[in-house]
Amino acid sequence: MNADEVREESRARETETLEAPAVELAAHWNAEGASGTQIPESSGYGKPALALSAEGAQLAEGDDGKELRLDGVKGYAQATGPVIDETGSFTVSARVRLDSAKLAALPVGSRAHVLGQATPSGVESSWALWAEKTSEETYRWRFGRTATDATGKVLHTTWASSQEPAELDTWVQVTGAYDHAEEAETGYGNLRLYLSAASEASPENTSFTAPTQGAGTLAAGRGSAKGATGHYLPGAVADLRVWTGAMIADQINTRVLGNPGDV
């Protein structure tokens, strides 16, 4: 076989006749089933619970069930990762609400991390979902990856970005998928971003050809980027999930959003 044929054979499918990628829920944290200072993990694979920070994070009842509220200054929840093999395909998804008033006070260029896994060096994210302030009144969702060497030096970074500004003060389902076998302009490996089940066609090349594996802290509500850990999320999260395999829109519609038969 040549390289293209090997990559095609490595793509696991749900069935022999169904072209959808095979996916498996590897980690799931839901605020609805949480109490005290932890959000338990319920995938069945024994991943660690997310522990709430001592300040700035609290579980509270909202209009749509229990949620993890974060102050955007000190609040976050974390566990020891990684929870998946990041050199292969995977999907991450979060139900999140951004606080417009607190975001307005941040400078342009600020990031508000929703969920991410630190690189071995600890000051970048091997993958992350975040909202970024791109102008005084505009915020965009992003799903990105960063590779570093043994010293923490960034070798490569890329992200997929939403085209339309992020909605504020309302719940949004944000999903990122990394397909290690997808053909791209500079080789293989590509990032995709979805809002609900709608694919966001990023104008940038999002190929990620340097395989990397995170280690250490996996965090919700803060993250590592630009050589520092912080980037706190002002708002709330309610549900966080990670799958092996790179989902497509139909799978997000059924498995993430729970809309069987809806396109």
Considering only CA atoms, which of 149, 112, 138, 136 is closest in space to residue 225? 112
Phi, psi of 47 (to 5 degrees): -75, 155
- CATH number, domain of 56, equals 2.60.120.200
Percent of the chain with pLDDT over 90: 74
Domain count, the chain: 1
For 121-166, what is each residue's pLDDT tens digit?
Answer: 899 999 999 999 999 999 999 999 999 998 889 999 999 999 999 9
Q: What is the DSSP string of the chain?
A: --HHHHHHHH--BSSSS--SBP-EEEEEEEGGG-BTTEE-B-SSS-PPPEEEPSSSEEEEEETTEEEEEEESSS--EEEEE--S-TTS-EEEEEEEEE-HHHHHTSPTT-EEEEEEEE-TTSSSEEEEEEEEEEETTEEEEEEEEEEE-TT--EEEEEEEE-SSPPP-SSEEEEEEEEEEEEEETTEEEEEEEEETTEEE--SS-----S-----EEEEES-EEETTEEE---EEEEEEEEEEES---HHHIIIIIS--TT--
Question: Which whole number is the average pLDDT over 106-123?
Answer: 96
pLDDT at 12: 64
Domain contains 86: yes
Q: Is the pLDDT of residue 109 over 80?
A: yes
pLDDT at 203: 65
Q: Is the pLDDT of residue 73 over 80?
A: yes
236 or 205, greater pLDDT? 236
pLDDT at 105: 94
Q: Is the pLDDT of residue 24 over 80?
A: yes
C-alpha Rg value of the chain to the nearest Å: 17
Domain contains 240: yes
For 244-261, what is each residue's pLDDT tens digit?
Answer: 999 999 999 998 998 765
pLDDT at 204: 74
What rounded mean pLDDT belongs to the chain? 90
- Top mean-pLDDT range of 10-14, 96-100, 154-158: 96-100
Q: Is the pLDDT of residue 37 over 60?
A: yes
* Integer Cα distance of 165 and 234 in angstroms: 17
Q: How confident is the model at residue 10 (pLDDT cuts 50, 70, 90)?
A: low
Q: Is the pLDDT of residue 236 over 90?
A: yes
Domain contains 202: yes
* Integer Cα distance of 195 and 263 in angstroms: 14
Domain contains 241: yes
For 167-202, what is each residue's pLDDT tens digit?
Answer: 999 999 999 999 988 877 677 789 999 999 899 877
pLDDT at 207: 86
- Write the Ramachandran bin of 235: left for phi over 0, alpha for psi from -120 to 50, otherwise beta: left
Within 8 A by CB and 6+ apart from 114, the residues are 94, 96, 128, 129, 130, 131, 174, 220, 221, 233, 237
Give, in order, the Cα–Cα distances in Å from 254 to each of 8, 48, 176, 261.
25, 26, 16, 8
Domain that holds residue 222: 3-256
- Write the Ramachandran bin of 255: left for phi over 0, alpha for psi from -120 to 50, otherwise beta: alpha
pLDDT at 14: 62
* Integer Cα distance of 76 and 89 in angstroms: 26
* Integer Cα distance of 208 and 191 in angstroms: 8
pLDDT at 9: 65
Domain contains 263: no
Domain contains 261: no
Domain contains 262: no
Domain contains 28: yes
For 205-216, what is each residue's pLDDT tens digit?
Answer: 888 877 889 999
